[in-house]
Amino acid sequence: MVRLRDVHFSVQRRAIFDGVEVDIRRGSVTAVMGPSGTGKTTLLRLITGQLLADRGLVEVEGRDVAAMSRPEIYRMRRRMGMLFQNGALLTDLNVYENVAFPLREHTNLPERLLRHVVLTKLHAVGLRGAWNLMPAELSGGMARRVALARAIVMDPQLLIYDEPFVGLDPISLGMVLRLIRRLNDSLGLTSIVVSHDVREISAVSDFCYLLSGGRIIASGPPASLADSGSEEVRQFMHGLPDGPVPFHYPAPDYAGQLRHLPK
């Protein structure tokens, strides 16, 4: 479904990716993990055509994203759904209108049918009863679920989750986890989940990629990554505070810095 080959990408001469290779298989839930600041969200932006790679191939459904025109990228995105970290609901529309938004923009469905579709999707995420609430009235978990209903309202083939567990209480987190797996299997989707919550993501994903230092340092089913012999992989998977990724940001000599007063 998605294929990245030898992808290089840099921002202001700082290399973010240095030869990344990723394969997302159709029908699977694939996790992309890695420490903060390793470019996980950037990877999603490359897949969705929001950013273009400096070098290498980014292919979605067999088509090179870099070779697509703007209308073609928009047509590709109609077959994608994306859940943003904070939900990114439109704050001037209520829950119902937020979910209906893509349908109103892209289709001419009669109001009766549109209502049917929107309520079905809201029911799938358990928030049919909250249809008339405004985004400001929703908890973080509810906002994330409404955004999920909006992401699936156009019946996409690929669903992308950007850090879906950040800031959620255990109950909301459990609900989102269950929804990721259930929606993927019942709707026949392909899902990409970007996260650094190892335990949660391992529970729902079929395959994992671990991103660090601009490269994929490990890939495989979640269980195989947990038992990896690589120190770097072990540090991340087991949440060790020090290791190949140091606790301290590079700094000059401690005593010298304490003695020296900047002018």
* Binding stretches for other proteins (CB under 8 A): 48, 50, 74-75, 77-78, 80, 82, 84-86, 88-91, 101-102, 105-106, 147, 150, 154
Residue closer to other proteins (CB basis): 84 or 209: 84
User: Can you tell me which residue has the tokens 């020296």?
Assistant: 260
Task: Supply the minimum distance, in Å, between the C-beta of residue 41 and other proteins.
Answer: 10
Q: In whole angstroms, what is the distance from residue 210 CA to residue 87 CA?
A: 24
Task: Supply the minimum distance, in Å, between the C-beta of residue 88 and other proteins.
Answer: 4
Task: Determine how many CB atoms are found less than 10 A away from the CB of residue 122.
Answer: 23
Residue closer to other proteins (CB basis): 162 or 202: 162
Task: Supply the minimum distance, in Å, between the C-beta of residue 217 and other proteins.
Answer: 28
Residue closer to other proteins (CB basis): 58 or 147: 147
Task: Supply the minimum distance, in Å, between the C-beta of residue 168 and other proteins.
Answer: 17
Question: Rounded to 5 degrees, what angle do the CA atoms 160, 121, 72 make?
Answer: 45
Q: Where are the beta strands (DSSP E) in the chain?
A: 2-11, 14-24, 29-33, 55-60, 63-64, 80-83, 158-162, 190-195, 207-212, 215-220
Residue closer to other proteins (CB basis): 41 or 230: 41
Residue closer to other proteins (CB basis): 133 or 245: 133
Task: Supply the minimum distance, in Å, between the C-beta of residue 129 and other proteins.
Answer: 24
Measured in whole angstroms, the distance separating CA 194 from the mean position of its chain's CA atoms is: 4
CA distances from 29 to 64, 148, 170, 209 (A): 22, 15, 21, 11
Instruction: Find residue 35's DSSP bridge partners.
Output: none
Structure tokens at 208: 């994992």
Q: In whole angstroms, what is the distance from residue 201 CA to residue 193 CA?
A: 8
Q: Helix, strand or coil for residue 169?
A: coil
Residue closer to other proteins (CB basis): 57 or 88: 88
Task: Supply the minimum distance, in Å, between the C-beta of residue 48 and other proteins.
Answer: 6
